[in-house]
A and B are shown apart, each in its own frame.
Chain A
Amino acid sequence: MPHIAHRRTGPRVAALLALACLAARAAQADDDGQWTRPGKDFAATRFSELDQITSANVGRLRPVWNFSTGVLSGHEGQPLVVNDTMYVVTPYPNVLYAFDLTKEDYPLRFKYRPDVDPASVGIACCDSVNRGAVYAEGKIVYNLLDGRTVAVDAKTGLEVWKTKVADLSHGETITMAPLVVGDRVFVGPSGGEYGIRGWFKALDLATGKLAWEARNLGPDSAVLAKPGIFKPFYDHGTELAEKSWAAETWKQGGAPVWGWLSYDPELDLVYYSTGNPGPYNPEQREGDNKWTSSVLARRPGDGSLVWAYQFTPHDNWDYDSNAENILAEVVVRGTPRKVLVHFDKNGFAYTLDRATGEVLVAEKYVDVNWAERVDLASGRPVLNPDKLTGKSKGMVQLICPSLEGGKSPASPAAYSPRTGLFYVPTVNLCMDWEARDTSYFPGIPYVGANVPYHPGPGGNLGAFIAWDPAAGKRVWETKEKFPVWSGALATAGNVVFYGTLDGWLKAADARTGEPLWKAKVGSGVVGAPITYRGPDGKQYVAVYSGIGGDWFLIAGDIRSDDPADVRPRADFAPDLSRYTSLGGTVWVFAL
């Protein structure tokens, strides 16, 4: 049963709202009713100024169109809407559909079918998902699972360029959605479970040629950490991403980049975060393991690292930090700050100064027991020694959150400058963890742990929450039976949207969380809803349905399409397959 908490009021909130109104007016000028980037804008807010749909009328929302993509895997990511065309990238085999929104049936303008290596399906750890495309200068740019980035002409569907950026034979695939800043296309690899040595690359938008490459691990020369430029807030010295690893374990250290990107045009910094260190057994890689489970800020022009902050030093729990870094202006302890807000798998919600990487606020947004708190002076978590893992520790019981995280990095939050709140899909799971030795073989999983899950306190496996980034507190929450694995959307009509694993698209009041509307969409929702203005001037909402991603692979007998693959239901979520199986549909709703 959903539970709704009442909103707090007070002078601090009034100041917050005043700043929010200023920011909202500034945002209005830039909103053209399109959706050209994964997170809508460079700040990755997933906030739209469109307000025809409001908390008063959203109850009248109804489906107006849907399209079966022809693919059955987790439909993460979101469509784009540019120049009256909707662009959809499917999971492997990464078909690009372009729908003509000016005609009643939304017939295709084109369908682009790249030749993607099927071996990549067996190497992607967590379903053959794709997190979306970006539009820039007449091109749709996105990644293929087998490690290539492609640019397609947005009008004709003809391929403009295709560049290999990742090495499948070493366990690298690509699932992330790129971002374009100026003439730079930014991409990063998946493969933290395969002992990769994570990187971040910039390609030239016109030609696809490599402009620069930075590593997330290893010597400063590869990490592009240059004296005088690289100024991490809490760390000192050189060769941090090499010295914080035992011997040469950084060479298979992980630090993948499979999440969302954001950019600050004033500071000229592109922000991305890295995933887990490998292998899972931390005793095989002593040291902080920088820069795994970290956020990094780089200059788009040459990739120079300006600052970095590690959320989980010497990660013992697969707490990837690939979640989005949403940029906002927040009044913290009386002072307006330019911040970056990040909901980490480790269960802490961080508000950082985005110019320097200083931690301003770090509070638990779900149940957390691996750490007591984050010490703001050192930036480091204060650990609970009972929840450290490693081969010598045997089976460590009931660590919260589970390795799925307090939030999946694949499920992006949204920010409303109107309310000043963040809207976050959360997961309420804990885990046991048994680590063991493992050996590295290229292209084969490099993991070394056995990790059974358990429901977190309360019994609900998830919740959709509103979060105050200055106070570090939940403002309201709606409990959900299953983990909330969708992205979030916030609108100026004071409506927020999210989807559930049992197949509902839901709308709630942004201020109070009051549920306002829902529709069953055929399969669990792991994508992010978007909203746009159609050619007729009306506001539309679009979302993918199609359960999958990490969750699907674990939650028992969801799939139906392979008679040779029958699994028992997951003991921590025995009912999920009662409500959903696989799917793959694009839905559009309107009043």
Chain B
Amino acid sequence: MLTVLTALAGVASAGEPTNPVRGNAEVAAQGGVLFNVMNCDGCHGAGGLGYVGPSLVDGRWRFGGDDAAIFQSIRDGRPHGMPAYGAMLPDPVIWQLVTYLQSQPVPKDVPTLAWP
């Protein structure tokens, strides 16, 4: 299965990778399990709501929110504490995580916190 997924990895303009399994609900569910097994929730909180690391479900992306940017954040890490998981996780597995994150609903009223 992994080789099939690798073969299907798309490439957008300028050679940036695109998510070959974008929108696949089964893959998103697998990604959700992985999110916990790989201890992503240890930094980003249960459901990616934010803890030591920022929220991954607010529709905001510090280092970019397109397929390639999220993929690279996970594979190569980012400054200020996001480790690089590329040595541990093959590309298809990383796309599962990307698919999971992309499948999380973003509340419409994210910018506003109000009290009656």
Contact = CB atoms under 8 A, between A and B. Distances in A.
B52 interface: yes
A122 B53 contact: yes
Contacts of A120: 81
Contacts of A553: 50-52
A557 B53 CA distance: 14
- The interface centre, meaning the residue of B41, B42, B46 with most chain A CB atoms within 10 A of its CB, is B42
A444 B39 contact: yes
Contacts of B81: 118-123
Contact of A446 (B42, B50, B80, B113): B42
Given A441-B88, A569-B113, A564 B80 contact: no
Contacts of A121: 80-81
A578 interface: yes
B6 interface: no
A307 to B, nearest CB: 34
B15 interface: no
Given A122-B43, A447-B39, A557-B113, A567 B55 contact: yes
A443 interface: yes
A562 B62 CA distance: 9
A531 B79 CA distance: 40
A438 B110 contact: no
B37 A437 contact: yes
A40 interface: no
A451 B51 CA distance: 13
A562 B54 contact: yes
Contacts of B39: 438-439, 441, 444-448
B19 to A, nearest CB: 20
A122 B42 contact: no
A565 B80 CA distance: 14
Interface in A23-78: none
A250 to B, nearest CB: 20
Contact of A565 (B38, B58, B113): B58
Contact of B58 (A126, A452, A566, A575): A566
A213 interface: no
Given A557-B113, A565-B55, A122 B82 contact: yes
Contacts of B111: 566
B9 interface: no
B36 interface: yes
A539 interface: no
Contacts of A578: 115
Given A564-B60, A564-B61, A568-B49, A118 B80 contact: yes
Interface string A166-183: 000000000000000000
A554 interface: yes
Contacts of B110: 566
Interface in A418-473: 436-439, 441, 443-448, 450-452
Nearest to B64: A564
- The interface centre, meaning the residue of B43, B52, B62 with most chain A CB atoms within 10 A of its CB, is B52
Taking chain A's interface residues, is the majority helix, strand, or loop, or is none over half, making it mixed? loop
A11 interface: no
B54 A444 contact: no
Contact of B37 (A119, A127, A439, A562): A439
A563 interface: yes
B10 interface: no
Interface in A112-133: 118-127
Contacts of B53: 122
Contacts of B79: 118
Contacts of B43: 122, 445
A250 B1 CA distance: 37
A193 interface: yes
Nearest to B39: A445
Given A124-B52, A565-B55, A444 B83 contact: yes
A569 B62 CA distance: 20
B42 A447 contact: yes
Interface in A550-591: 553-554, 557, 562-569, 575, 577-578
A563 B60 contact: yes
Nearest to B61: A564
A438 B62 contact: no
Interface in B40-99: 41-43, 45-46, 49-55, 58, 60-62, 79-83, 88
A520 B41 CA distance: 35
Contacts of A439: 37-39
Contacts of A554: 45, 51
Contacts of B52: 122, 124-127, 553
Given A118-B79, A443-B83, 15 more contacts: A438-B39, A439-B37, A439-B39, A444-B38, A452-B46, A553-B52, A557-B113, A562-B54, A562-B62, A564-B60, A565-B55, A566-B55, A566-B58, A567-B49, A567-B50
Interface of B: 36-39, 41-43, 45-46, 49-55, 58, 60-62, 79-83, 88, 107, 110-111, 113, 115
12 contacts: A119-B81, A120-B81, A122-B82, A436-B36, A444-B38, A444-B39, A447-B42, A450-B41, A450-B46, A565-B55, A567-B49, A569-B113
4 closest Cβ pairs, A-B complex: A122-B81, A445-B42, A565-B54, A564-B62
